[in-house]
Amino acid sequence: MNSMMELAAHTIPLMAISIQIFAIILFVEAAIHKSVTYKDFVGIISGYRLIPISLVWTAAAFVIFAEYLAIISLLLMLPFLKYLGAVMLVGYAIAIQINVVRGRTEIDCGCGGQSMPISQSLVSRNLVIAILLAWSTNTVGFAGLVGYGFVYWILVCGTVLVGYLFYLSYNQLCFNQSLQSNLTRKEL
């Protein structure tokens, strides 16, 4: 029983910190992409048709600012902002779901990186990541892991890499599914 508790004492922080690093990577990638292609991102937000046109430019700037703030809050584990990333992912999921229900699946998700039409799969992806991120930020932060050794951090890096590869694979499957759906619709 003691060895099980000892294993859990090392595994839970490893998973929590891996999820946080994974989320930092996602938010960095998304924030940089949105910043560099700001005008395109404004168009994507406009395409969701959730806010008045007069607020789209401001909303785009706010989203990018919030993503950078989420990165900082995850790195520093700021108590008052530690759930910001998870809340943002839930917000994105809601925005996507509203448009999926409306039947507007041709619009770009605006996630950053490869252009991808929205789908129910992206809603699920964002909710799963949000749940994992909320759990991880409630569990442990970087400061609690300073005393762990080199091998532990190798395991963290490996876990992050596997998680990121799974994420990329899932995104590719979502993209392929969207292409398949669009081709099927055009044939009909």
CA angle 36, 28, 113 (to 5 degrees): 55
What residues are paired with 108 via a beta bridge?
Answer: 117
pLDDT of the residue at 129: 95
Residue 94 class from Cβ within 10 Å (0-12 exposed, 13-18 middle, 19+ buried)?
middle
Please check the confidence at residue 144 and state whether its pLDDT lies above 70: no
Rounded to whole angstroms, how far apart are CA atoms 177 and 165?
18
> 69 CB contacts (<8 Å, ≥6 apart)?
81, 84
Q: What are phi and psi of 108, to 5 degrees?
A: -70, 140
List pLDDT tens digits, range 41-93. Answer: 999 999 999 999 999 999 999 999 999 999 999 988 877 788 999 999 999 99
Is 109:93 a contact under the CB 8 Å cutoff? no
Rounded to whole angstroms, how far apart are CA atoms 157 and 48?
36
Please check the confidence at residue 7 and state whether its pLDDT lies above 70: no
More confident site: 113 or 88: 88
